[in-house]
Amino acid sequence: MGAILECKSLTKHYSALAALSNVNLTLERGRIIGLLGPNGSGKTTLIKLINGLLVPTAGTLLIGGKEPGPETKKIVSYLPEKTYLPDWMRVSDTINFFQDFYEDFDQKRAYEMLDRLHLDPSKRLKTLSKGTKEKVQLILVMSRNADLYCLDEPIGGVDPAARDYILNTIISNYNENATVIISTHLIADIERVLDEVVFIKDGIVTLHASVEDIRSREGKSIDTLFREVFRC
Amino acid sequence: MQWDINSARPVYLQLIEQVQAMIISGYYKPGDKLSSVRELAAEAGVNPNTMQKALSELERTGLVYTNRTSGRFITSDESMIQKLKEQSARGQIKEFIERMKQLGYPPRETLTLITKVIQEETE
């Protein structure tokens, strides 16, 4: 099987602003990859391009050999930064919604995860705390048997215990041929679950390496390296 | 089981050390079955590929073995575990001797002092 994601000279401009410049990036299957960069560095732009929500200004992007479109949406599971599920929905409604939308959705798995959280599926989203709502969304996204998971800031709004829960959910639910991209600036919390990191700065990919290689070569954590590279 | 991983050193090395420590301390008994890679990774909060690498390395040294059909086990070879235990004890003693040297105690004096302290403790 080939790479799950291949970007060649990928560029995205928002009028005069270059959000991504000439990105060449190949991601293999079976990895958990941290997409790391400060605010406004282009992380979300890249994830939106992968999900076909934006169109490249120049260059190409292929997912499992295909350009973003209906075929790739079947194999990409996306957790956006912001929630899009209407507040009036019950948790069980959101599960039915995903069941209708995605062939690869595993309803049983979703209910098992909710059960482990002691979350009542008949509750409406508006009655849930922000953190719980984020967990529900993650459960929906991770209950798909996708080839590529794109998680945009999955741990931003939750407490450290909930972070552990979320990372655990990610580790236990992706299959070995799938790749997970996690975009975040909270590196210390997630670096132990990563295989690789991609550093992105002002729309340019400055580093793509294995985290264990970085640790043996530099003798420091990814968090420390990040702070050095991105010192303001 | 509490795993303690520090992000500044290669994680697979720390996983190897900690599984060894669990074997030495008796948390894992000879012949015990290990959980799946995925479960162990989730428990330690680390990447499954990293856990896989650590277990493969432990397998290479013989401390852990895989049975094709039933999973991964701790070795039943107690002499091997005994050897690991001694290796670890030797490591600690060497470190200790080094630290005592920094305090100005040559090894012979350290030994005399150890004997003295042990006697006091048992009195």
Say yes or no for a CB contact (<8 Å) between B8 and A220.
yes
Mark yes or no for CB contact A193/B46 under 8 Å: yes
pLDDT at A39: 86
Question: Quick one: average pLDDT of B88-102?
Answer: 94
The CA distance from A157 to the nearest CA of chain B, in Å, is 19
Contact residues, chain A, for B12 at CB < 8 Å: 212
ipTM of the complex model? 0.81
Question: d(Cα B59, Cα A210) in Å, to the nearest integer?
Answer: 23
pLDDT at B1: 66
pLDDT band at residue B34, thresholds of 50, 70 and 90? very high
Give how far Cα A115 sits from Cα of A31, A105, A120, A173, Å: 28, 17, 8, 15
Radius of gyration, alpha carbons of chain B: 18
Sign of the torsion formed by the C-alpha atoms of B66, B67, B73 and B76:
negative
DSSP3 helix / strand / coil % (chain B, rounded to 5): 65, 5, 30
Which of A113, A166, A175, A193 has the most B C-beta neighbours within 10 Å, making it the best mutation to test the interface with B? A193
CB A91 within 8 A of CB A122: yes
In the sheet where A179-184 sits, what is the strand order?
A76-79, A148-152, A179-184, A32-36, A196-201, A204-210
- Would an 8 Å CB–CB cutoff place A32 in contact with chain B? yes
Phi-psi region of A178 (alpha: psi -120 to 50; beta: other; left: phi over 0): beta
The token duo for A83 is 């929630």
- C-alpha distance from B118 to closest chain A C-alpha (Å): 39
Q: What are chain A's domains?
A: 5-229 (3.40.50.300)
Q: In chain B, what is the straight-line distance between the N-terminal and C-terminal CA atoms, in Å?
A: 36
Mutate to test the interface with B, among A164, A192, A214 (most CBs of B within 10 A): A192
Looking at the complex, report in whole angstroms how far the Cα of residue A215 sits from the nearest Cα belonging to chain B: 5
pLDDT value at residue A211: 94
At position A136, the amino acid (one-letter code) is V
Q: Which of the following CATH numbers is that of domain B11-76: 1.10.10.10, 3.40.640.10, 3.90.440.10, 3.30.300.30? A: 1.10.10.10
**Spatial contact of B85 and B67, defined as CB atoms under 8 Å apart:** no
Q: Do B41 and A171 touch (CB under 8 A)?
A: yes
d(CA A198, CA A178): 17
Beta strand A179-184 pairing with B71-74: unpaired
* Contact status, residue A10 vs residue A25, Cβ threshold 8 Å: yes
pLDDT above 90 covers a percentage of chain A that reads 75
CB atoms A192 and B42 under 8 Å: no
Say whether A193 and B49 touch across the interface (CB within 8 A): no
Which residue type does A172 have? S
Q: Does residue B56 have a pLDDT over 70?
A: yes
Q: What is the pLDDT of residue A1?
A: 67
Closest CA to A45 of A59, A65, A30: A59
CB atoms within 10 A of CB A105: 21
* Reported pTM: 0.87
The verdict on A222 touching B (C-beta cutoff 8 Å) is yes
Q: What is the mean pLDDT of each run of 10 residues along chain A (232 residues)?
A: 92 92 96 92 95 96 95 95 90 96 95 90 93 90 96 84 84 88 90 94 94 92 91 79
Cα separation, B27 vs A142, in Å, equals: 33
Residues in chain A closer than 8 A to B47 (CB atoms): 32, 171, 192-195
- Cβ-based interface (< 8 Å): residues of B facing A: 5-12, 38-39, 41-42, 45-50
Question: What is residue B68's predicted lDDT score, i.e. its pLDDT?
Answer: 83
- Is B7 in Cβ contact with A171 (below 8 Å)? no
Residue A106, SS3?
coil
Report, as an integer, the average pLDDT of B64-86.
Answer: 92
Looking at residue A157, its pLDDT comes to 72
Residues of A in contact with B5 (CB under 8 A): 192
Integer Cα distance of B73 and A73 in angstroms: 41
Q: What is the pLDDT of residue A164?
A: 84
**Which residues of A fall within a CB distance of 8 Å from B46?**
192-193
How far B55 CA sits from the closest chain A CA (Å)? Answer: 16
CA A89 to CA B5: how far, in whole Å? 40
Residue B83: its H or E element: helix B78-102
What pLDDT is recorded for position A232?
A: 75
